[in-house]
Amino acid sequence: MTAGPRARYREQVRDEVRAHAWEQIVEAGASALSLKAIAKKMGMTAPALYRYFASRDELLTELVLTAYQDLAEVVEAVPVDAAPETTLRLLAEALRDWASTNPQRYLLVYGTPVPGYSAPPDATDLARRIFTPLVTAYTDLLGSPEAAFGRSVTFWSRLHGVLSLELAGHFAGMGVDTGALYDAEIRSVTGKA
């Protein structure tokens, strides 16, 4: 059934709010997210905007879930190769491509936590979807689910370390080739050094 004009308008306003929220996050970080500032930019009063999002945390939750969902879809689209090392490399490359294309989304879910905000349980489910292909590839590689989990955590932590530092600008002026560094980490954690 097609949504009526009121429902379509409501969704258009919510889309515009989300777009302005991403702009705020790019400009000042997730901690600076402000419904009042968004309302002003849209020519609305803050109370009027609260009819579309009850709170900053509700809006933040939608943004967090959207970011996780996007990454989950990217990771799940990675082809599984007969060689687990190849699958791991493809997963790592997909993560870096997504993060480089969507730095604000990456930093929202993997950067500094927003003070006073707790992500909903749905975020954990999405994070599990993102992590599962790693564990599967390492299980295929090692044959042991316990060892696979530990290696997956190492893989994830090291790659996110490089990505987080890169996207936050901490390698600026150091002459570090972040692509080469990331590639070296992939080789190290997949045993292809």
Confidence of residue 58 (pLDDT cuts 50, 70, 90): very high
Q: Which CATH superfamily is domain 55-190 in?
A: Tetracycline Repressor, domain 2 (1.10.357.10)
- Exposure b/e, 162-193, CB count within 10 A at least 16 = b: bbbebbeeeeeeeeeebeeebbebbeebbeee
Residues of the chain with CATH 1.10.10: 1-54
1-54: CATH topology is: Arc Repressor Mutant, subunit A (1.10.10)
Q: Distance between CA atoms of 148 and 165, rounded to whole angstroms?
A: 26
Q: Distance between CA atoms of 93 and 109, rounded to whole angstroms?
A: 18
The pLDDT value recorded for residue 82 is 81
Is-above-0.75 flag for pTM? yes
The pLDDT value recorded for residue 193 is 47
Confidence of residue 1 (pLDDT cuts 50, 70, 90): low
Residues of the chain with CATH 1.10.357.10: 55-190
One-character DSSP codes across the chain? -PPPHHHHHHHHHHHHHHHHHHHHHHHH-GGG--HHHHHHHHT--HHHHTTT-SSHHHHHHHHHHHHHHHHHHHHHTSPPPSSHHHHHHHHHHHHHHHHHH-HHHHHHHHSSPPTT----HHHHHHHHHHHHHHHHHHHHHHS-HHHHHHHHHHHHHHHHHHHHHHHTTTTTTTT--HHHHHHHHHHHHHT--
Phi, psi of 149 (to 5 degrees): -65, -45
The pLDDT value recorded for residue 2 is 66
pLDDT tens per residue across span 102-155: 999 999 999 888 999 998 898 999 999 999 999 999 999 999 999 999 999 999
pLDDT tens per residue across span 16-49: 999 999 999 988 888 889 999 999 999 999 899 8
pLDDT tens per residue across span 91-116: 999 999 999 999 999 999 998 889 99
